[in-house]
Structure 1
Amino acid sequence: MALSSMTGFARTQGALGPQTWVWEARSVNGKGLDIRLRLPPGGDALDQPARRAVAERFKRGSISLGLTMTSDDQEQAYRVNEPLLKKLLAVTRELAMDGVDRPRMDGLLGLRGVLEPVGQAEEEGVREAREAAQLRSLEATLDALALARSEEGGRLAGVLAGHLEVLEDLRAQAANAEALRPDMVRARLRRQMADLLEAAPDALPEERLAQELALLAVKADIREELDRLGAHLEGARELLTRGEAMGRRLEFLSQELNREANTLCSKSSDVALTRIGLDMKAVIDQFREQILNIE
């Protein structure tokens, strides 16, 4: 299964008799699955089936789904839902008492359910046939949306793989840095111990000196950080090849990568090694920004 993005767009048209309709689906980033559905008056029966169809296909993303309908029936007319309009007018009067401007009548008439289509009564079989055809159109719309998200995910997978290659190269540079050569480490430890002794020649007992030397040696050793960086990079590459809904796992790995890069910078006492750590952090930030688009 290819890696999937959370951004995409799809549009399909359908028709049955005098009725024509258009489904439009837009998807953007989201922490979870957020479905926003807009149906025309009389389309409430499609609400739950449409939401189930979306949830079956997608795990994450803010998805806006809308259905618009038109009719070639020239005898179509509309009537005002007077009970609903009276309730709305009562609400506006109460709000006006609190200083809120009353809405215009054309605004009230534009609210869903205030104007209702009227005409010849629609037979139940005709309505069910139209709804079934609209759900088939919806399936095609969601298939197209899934394809669009998959294509965008393929592009992002290439970008993310490029970031991982850069991070692997930086890790190799850090592992081969001159500051990590044994002779350089020993020389640096000697200088640091000499500084300690010069600062307090009689105040540090032998045990304290041994402790300070051990602490300096641990601080100078970044091999564990480099090993963990390598393991996290390998895990990220594996997730990219597996595809599926891996956005949250990649987000977790990016946090771990950033933690190791921070530790490397804090331990480093060499300018070149610090620069490598800062370059890592910059690439990890770019990696994390792209992951926000992954399902």
Structure 2
Amino acid sequence: MALSSMTGFARSHGVSGSYAWSWEIKSVNAKGLELRLRLPPGFDAVEIPVRTKAAEMLSRGNVYATLSVSREGAAPVVRINEPVLNAILNAVGQLSGRVDAEKPRLDGLLALKGVVDVTDAEQSEEEKAAAEDAIVKGFVQGLKGLVDMRRHEGDAIGRVLSARLDEMAALAQRADAAPGRQPDAVKRKLAEQVAVLLETAGRFDADRLHQEAILLAAKADIREELDRLAAHVAQARKLMNGGGAIGRRLDFLSQELNRETNTLCAKSNDVELTNIGLELKSVVEQFREQVQNLE
């Protein structure tokens, strides 16, 4: 199963009877799935099936879907508003003997507001239901285009993430082989730190000195951090190979990777290990930034 981004854009359009419709769908990053619909008046019936289809095909993302509908090929119906026209004619009759003016013309009367009503042709329930069904199917078609675009972008993100994991593994190997981790280097560093302790306290207790030496040795050992880093990298690769909606799990792993990297930097006992730790922090942060875009 391929990886998917949470960003994408798609359009779909079609005709059903006298109805012409079009969908415009786009999605951006989000913690969960939220569909925001903009529907024209009279088409609220498509909302529930459209939301159901979106939940079936998407797992995460803010999805914005706009529907446009127009009627084509249906002749408009023109009606004369008789009450309004009669009221106007009565008013003209009352003023005719009082005002010296030409008699009103037909085009002038029809141009008055409210005299003429222009409405769409009557629609049958069957035609409207068929249009709504076609609109829902068109939404699914648009969603498929959106999913394809999100998967295409997800493939690109997957390649970037794989490269970052390779860099983490290489940096962990460098840290493991760093001269500062060699037994002689650790012993020398411990000897220097013990000497400092003895200088600062001439009556330093032997048992306390032994405990401090053990603590210093434990602090200098980054084996546990390197092992956990390797385990997290392996788990990330496994998730990516499985595909699907893994964005949240990879985000959790990136937090764990960052935690181990911070501990490694804190335990560093020489400049090279510190530099490796800082490089590792940068790569982990790049990894986490890309993970934010995954479904």
After TM superposition, the score normalised by the length of structure 2 is 0.84
Q: What is the RMSD computed on CA atoms of the aligned residues?
A: 1.4
Please state how far the C-alpha of 1:139 moved relative to its aligned partner. Answer: 1.1
- The question of 1:252 aligning with 2:252 is answered yes
Q: How far apart, CA to CA, are the structure 2 residues paired with 1:36 and 1:267? A: 49
232-241 or 65-74, which deviates more: 65-74
**C-alpha distance after superposition, 1:106-149 (max 9, x if no partner):** xxxxxxxxxxx943331111111111111111111111111111
Which residue of the partner structure matches residue 96 of structure 1?
Answer: none
Q: Deviations over 1:190-225 (max 9, x none)?
A: 1111111111121x1111001100100000100000
Do residues 141 (structure 1) and 142 (structure 2) align? yes
Return the offset for 1:77. Answer: 7.4
CA distance in 1, matches of 2:53, 2:23: 13
In structure 2, the partner of 1:104 is none
Residue aligned with 2:22, SS: strand
The residue type equivalent to 2:155 in the other structure is G
Question: Separation in 2 of the partners of 1:193 and 1:261?
Answer: 27
Confirm or deny: 8 A CA contact 2:74 2:121 kept in the other structure.
no
Residue in 1 that maps onto 2:72 = 72
Classify the secondary structure of the residue corresponding to 2:234. helix
Opposite residue 29 of structure 1, the aligned amino acid is N
Query: Quick check: 118-127 or 41-50, which moved more?
Result: 118-127
Structure with the greater alpha carbon radius of gyration: 2
* Distance in 2 between residues matched to 1:23 and 1:186, nearest whole Å: 70
1:261 aligns with 2:261: yes
SS at match of 1:294: coil
How do 1:15-26 residues align onto structure 2 when only pairs under 5 Å count?
15-26=15-26
Kept in 1, the 8 Å contact 2:77–2:121? The answer is no
Give the percent of matched residue pairs that are identical in Structure 1 and Structure 2. Answer: 48
C-alpha distance in 2, partners of 1:76/1:278? 72
Instruction: Tell me if 1:279 matches 2:279.
Output: yes
Distance 1:276 1:170 in 2: 6
Q: Distance in 1 between matches of 2:63 and 2:72?
A: 30
Match of residue 97 from structure 2: none
Q: Residue 208 of structure 1 aligns to which amino acid in structure 2?
A: R
Distance 2:69 2:122 in 1: 18
Secondary structure of 2:30's counterpart equals: coil
Distance 1:8 1:279 in 2: 32
Rounded to whole Å, the distance in 2 between the matches of 1:118 and 1:235 is 63
Post-superposition shift, 1:16? 1.6
Q: Which residue of the partner structure matches residue 151 of structure 2?
A: 150
Greater Cα shift, 62-71 or 217-226: 62-71
Partner of 1:223: 223
In 2, the alpha carbon distance for the partners of 1:120 and 1:70 equals: 12
1:240 alignment partner in structure 2: 240
Q: Report the CA distance between 1:54 and its aligned residue.
A: 0.4
1:233-267 CA-to-partner distances (Å, cap 9, x unmatched) read 00011111111110000000000000000000001
Q: Give unpaired runs (5+ residues) of structure 2.
A: 79-117
Identify the residue that residue 39 of structure 1 maps to in structure 2: 39
Q: CA 1:219 to 1:125, structure 2 compared with 1: closer, same or farther past 3 Å? A: same
For normalisation by structure 1, the TM-score amounts to: 0.84
Show structure 1 runs of 5+ residues with no match: 79-116
Cα distance in 1 for partners of 2:160, 2:139 equals 32
Letter in 2 for 1:133: A
> For 1:27-106, what aligned pairs fall within 5 Å after superposition?
27-73=27-73, 75-76=75-76
Distance in 2 (CA, whole Å) between partners of 1:229 and 1:74 is 67
Report the number of matched residues: 256
Offset of residue 74 of structure 1: 6.0
- For residue 173 of structure 1, what is the aligned residue in structure 2? 174
Q: Deviations over 1:74-112 (max 9, x none)?
A: 64479xxxxxxxxxxxxxxxxxxxxxxxxxxxxxxxxxx
Partner of 2:94: none
> Separation in 2 of the partners of 1:146 and 1:289?
21
> CA–CA distance in 1 between the matches of 2:231 and 2:60?
27
